[in-house]
Amino acid sequence: MTSNNRFVTSRRDFRARAHSNPLNDAEFLVPQDPRCFDWSPFIPGIGTTSRIDYVDLGCGYGGLLLELSKVFPDKFMLGLEIRDRVASYCTTKVEELRRLYPGEYRNIGFLRTNCMKFLPFYFPKASVDKFFIGFPDPHFKKKKHRQRLVSLRFLSEAAYCLQPGGMIYIVTDVEELFEWMNLKFSRHPLFSAMDKDQVEQQDILISYLLNHTDEAQRVQRRGPNTKYWNVYRRLQ
């Protein structure tokens, strides 16, 4: 039996629609008070703290956090995903991995929500260290640009949740979307772009975002393997 045969959670059992409209008024569970929310049903190792370090926004099938769980065992991480079946896959997968590898994968968890609308309901003011936005949906048509995750309003909500000095990582293979996101950041008073050479030299996270998310690997397989990225720091 190969080690792969041990896994029973397969993406084929969690087929989902390609997109879910984030402007719909779907209902999501939100904590009554993010300052004292019990995250342990989602992230078993978190204990009584309600502070999440890293958040993967639009985490898809959760591949990034499954990798990062082992690299940063002392960080608590949450993946947020809007598509119901995809979020269910993430939860089922991480529960399976916890059963197979006792003591591991207890610092990460997943939740279905719309991160375009509800961030401050989940994370207290100045609590999050890093947000990841890996390969967000491009919504190419102009009339659908409103569905893009990064907007001035979204950045204000993210800035509220981020610690001063906290960071947002953006990665995409769509140049036009990249320019769009950079424009939004440049217009927001609470963010400044970090020096990319410095990030590449000092921060291994960027290499995980560029190479280890599910979508990053799909871009790699499909080619051309062009990826655009930036890291923004939340100012004081």
Residue with tokens 């207890």: 106
Among residues 84, 137, 195, 203, which one is catalytic?
137
Q: Is 81 annotated as a binding residue?
A: yes
DSSP 170: E
Q: Tell me the number of residues near ligand SAM by CB under 6 A.
A: 23
Task: Clarify whether 137 is annotated catalytic.
Answer: yes
Nearer to ligand SAM, 48 or 227 (CB): 227
> Tokens in use for 102?
């006792």
Cα-based angle 145, 208, 71 (whole degrees, multiple of 5): 135
Nearer to ligand SAM, 129 or 137 (CB): 137
As a residue count, the chain comes to 236
Q: Is 109 annotated as a binding residue?
A: no
Nearer to ligand SAM, 115 or 199 (CB): 115
Q: What totals of helices (H) and strands (E) does the chain contain, helices first?
A: 8, 7
Binds ligand SAM (CB under 6 A): choice among 53, 129, 137, 173 = 137
- Decide if residue 59 touches ligand SAM (CB under 6 A): yes
- Between the two ends of the chain, the Cα-to-Cα distance in Å is 54
- Decide if residue 172 touches ligand SAM (CB under 6 A): no
Binds ligand SAM (CB under 6 A): choice among 14, 42, 105, 135 = 135
* Whole-number Cα distances in Å, 138 to 44, 52, 148, 173, 179: 34, 27, 7, 9, 12
* Whole-number Cα distances in Å, 198 to 66, 170, 173, 193, 213: 26, 16, 22, 11, 22
- Decide if residue 43 touches ligand SAM (CB under 6 A): no
Part of the chain binding ligand SAM (CB under 6 A), chosen from 1-9, 45-53, 157-165, 207-215: 207-215
Give the per-residue contact string, 102-121, with ligand SAM (x = CB under 6 A; - = no). Answer: ------------xxx-----
Q: CB under 8 Å to 235, separation ≥6 — which residues?
A: 164, 189, 190, 191, 192
DSSP E strands, the chain = 54-57, 77-81, 108-112, 128-134, 162-172, 191-193, 228-234
Q: Smallest gap, in angstroms, from Cβ of residue 1 to ligand SAM?
A: 29
- Decide if residue 94 touches ligand SAM (CB under 6 A): no
Part of the chain binding ligand SAM (CB under 6 A), chosen from 59-67, 162-170, 180-188, 192-200: 59-67
- Decide if residue 83 touches ligand SAM (CB under 6 A): yes
Binding residues: 58, 81-82, 114-115, 213-215
Chain positions contacting ligand SAM, by CB under 6 A: 20, 22, 58-60, 63, 80-83, 86, 114-116, 134-137, 149, 213-216
* Catalytic positions: 137
